Amino acid sequence: MRITRREALLQCAALGSLSLAAPGLRLTDAVSAFELAEQSTAARAATQWNEIGPFYKRLAPNTSQLRAPNDPGLGLAVSGRVFNTRGQALTGAKIEIWQADHHGLYDLDGYRYRAALESDASGLYKFQSVMPGHYPARVCQHIHYVVTAPGHKALITQLYFATDPVFDGDPDKNYAKDPLVMSRELVRPVTLTGDPKTIQAAVNFDVVLEGL
Ligand SMILES: [Fe+2]
């Protein structure tokens, strides 16, 4: 049977491979603090706000499959985790997303390419979609987000793609070609998966919410 981290540290102390060199420090307190420090998570900067735009709709369905079987466009798998600024994963956060289809059209009558997801026990959310198309009112391809969780400020933002032709292959230099892209952090790298017949893009987008 595996022993706990705490038991292992106490065993180290008993066998002499861990020792205390501070007066008044008790072994049990020191080992508890050691264990806690190992479990602590790195602080994270809150995700940057970005415009909500005109096409948000309430009450989107809870579905992770946004792409219908014959929908045109490059398949896109988006996943990420929701954190607080202390770096702890947030379970049960609500992630509302909406985007244009491959042709740059939003569904204003129904709920195509719209969803309201919930983060799982490790803060994870994911959905299957297509790379959003460009549309005349906007320079860049993007997916809109509203993320909410109890005890945290609502985050309104957008996800952008480093492969967007607007960036000419160099988002570091060109991300501001879309005046609405005020943060380089929102432009995410793209990974291609599958084979040439089933090629699809994958993008990771972690989001970090500020506490109230
Ligand atoms: Fe939009």
- Strand-pairing partners, residue 158, are 144
pLDDT of residue 32: 86
For residue 100, report the distance from its CA to the centre of ligand 1, in Å: 7
Which residues 6+ apart lie within 8 Å of 157 measured at CB?
47, 48, 49, 50, 144, 145, 147, 186, 207
For residue 5, report the distance from its CA to the centre of ligand 1, in Å: 48
For residue 166, report the distance from its CA to the centre of ligand 1, in Å: 15
For residue 84, report the distance from its CA to the centre of ligand 1, in Å: 26
* Number of neighbouring beta carbons within 10 Å of residue 66: 24
What confidence tens digit (pLDDT) does each residue in 133-174 have? 999 989 999 999 999 999 999 999 999 999 999 999 999 999
For residue 159, report the distance from its CA to the centre of ligand 1, in Å: 10
What confidence tens digit (pLDDT) does each residue in 89-146 have? 999 999 999 999 999 999 999 999 999 999 999 999 999 999 999 999 899 999 999 9
What confidence tens digit (pLDDT) does each residue in 60-70 have? 999 999 999 99
CB distance 175 to 13 below 8 Å: no
For residue 50, report the distance from its CA to the centre of ligand 1, in Å: 11
Q: How far apart are CA 83 and CA 89, in angstroms?
A: 4
For residue 203, report the distance from its CA to the centre of ligand 1, in Å: 18
For residue 96, report the distance from its CA to the centre of ligand 1, in Å: 13
pLDDT of residue 2: 81
Q: How far apart are CA 13 and CA 6, in angstroms?
A: 11
Does position 39 have pLDDT exceeding 80, yes or no? Answer: no
Q: How far apart are CA 154 and CA 90, in angstroms?
A: 13
